[in-house]
Amino acid sequence: MGKFNFFEFIREQWTELPVPTADVSRKSLVVVGANVGLGNEAAVHLAQLKPKSLLITTRDGVKCEQAKADIETRSGMTGIESWPLELTSFDSVRSFVNNFEAKGCTVDALIANAGVLTRSYAKTSDGYETTLQVNYLSTALLSILMLPHLIKTGTHESASRLVIVSSNVHYIAHTLNGADKWDNIIEKLNDQAYCTSSSVMGDRYPLSKLLEVLFVRELSSRLPTPTMVAVSTVNPGFCHSSLIRNVNPLLKLIFTIQNYLLARPTEMGSRTLVHPAIEPGERERHGHYLSSCNVVEESDYALGAEGKEVSKRLWNETIKILADIDPRVNAIVSEHLV
């Protein structure tokens, strides 16, 4: 295991996944990126189960109202909360958490789903390459800042859940090969001169998914045992989604053909997000990468000696960056992580 296998990929694509049925009537749930695609379908599944509360996020206020109306209509649930959260902005992440705390909200499960796919170098207003910030740094910031709230609702009988949406494309990520020799890994990945290579930017989306896998491994290893928060990454499989909306026309055509031949329905893929967020067995999934709702091995790179060394360095670099963005990060790490 640990390698991408085309025949296994095809088998999984045709696997019927379990429909979520857990009792969430006493649970408060949060879904990031719920206006389209996998996040939207996951939110519909959760709303149909009538949780105590459901909070969804989209990139702006207009999309918030549209997503709220759509999910309430399709699920029959009323009273869904919908807040803006723009992952290209660290300030937006901080504002979301500030609002969450000010309103005294609780969370039993957080599905961190939003992501982008780009193949050209562009920086956010915070100074980071867009995919690196949205798929990794902002997701990590949100996860750390929400950690105390997840810990608060976890119990010895049932841990709360943090689900970060990764992908099986992390198996083919190659940019980190040799990264153990770099002085600073994140600075290198963010360097415009380094990113001019088409090979580097062509690998950026798979790389971001690998970074998420490594982040979850490091975070989960630092949570006390028994953990009050079960953390996992999931592979939703190759699905019909809006992820390709920002790619160039030729690449969009290629993806469209692949979608027609191989893609799972978006609703089927969304079950992989919902399953670890609400179904029993969360502590057995803690710290693991999941595919088709089962624990499987990460990539050979992640499992290898270099991957483990780079993983620890990435954690330290990431926490340093996030602590400079929000002083709560160091306090959370000191109080809640080993």
State pLDDT tens for residues 28-66: 999 999 999 999 999 999 999 999 999 999 999 999 999
| Range in 4-13, 84-93, 120-129, 290-299 with the lowest mean pLDDT | 4-13
Q: What is the pLDDT of residue 327?
A: 96
When the pLDDT of each residue in the chain is averaged and rounded to a whole number, the result is 93
The two structure tokens encoding residue 109: 């499960």
| CA distance from start to end of the chain | 30
Element (H, E) at 84: strand 81-84
Note if 166 is an active site residue: yes
Note if 194 is an active site residue: no
Note if 136 is an active site residue: no
d(CA 30, CA 176): 32
Q: How many CA atoms lie within 13 A of 9 on its CB side?
A: 15
| Mean pLDDT for the stretch of residues 239-247 | 64
Please count the other Cβ atoms lying within 10 Å of the Cβ belonging to residue 78.
Answer: 8
- Say if residue 1's pLDDT is above 50: no
Task: Identify the burial level of 221 via C-beta atoms within 10 angstroms of its C-beta, where 0-12 means exposed, 13-18 middle and 19 or more buried.
Answer: middle
| Catalytic choice (28, 82, 92, 166) | 166
The answer to whether residues 216 and 164 touch, using CB atoms and an 8 Å cutoff, is yes
Please, which pLDDT band fits residue 3 given cuts at 50, 70 and 90? confident
- CA dihedral 222→227→230→231, nearest 10 degrees, is 0
| Mean pLDDT for the stretch of residues 189-197 | 95
| Range in 144-158, 181-195, 253-267, 277-291 with the lowest mean pLDDT | 253-267
Q: What is the pLDDT of residue 2?
A: 65
| Catalytic choice (208, 209, 220, 289) | 209
| Catalytic choice (128, 136, 171, 205) | 205
**String of b and e for 232-242 (b: at least 16 CB within 10 Å)?**
bbbbbbbbbbe
**Architecture of the domain made up of 23-336:** 3-Layer(aba) Sandwich (3.40)
Strand, helix or coil for residue 81? strand
Displacement of CA 27 from its chain's centroid (Å)? 20
| Mean pLDDT for the stretch of residues 221-247 | 85
The two structure tokens encoding residue 289: 């990468």
Please count the other Cβ atoms lying within 10 Å of the Cβ belonging to residue 7.
Answer: 7
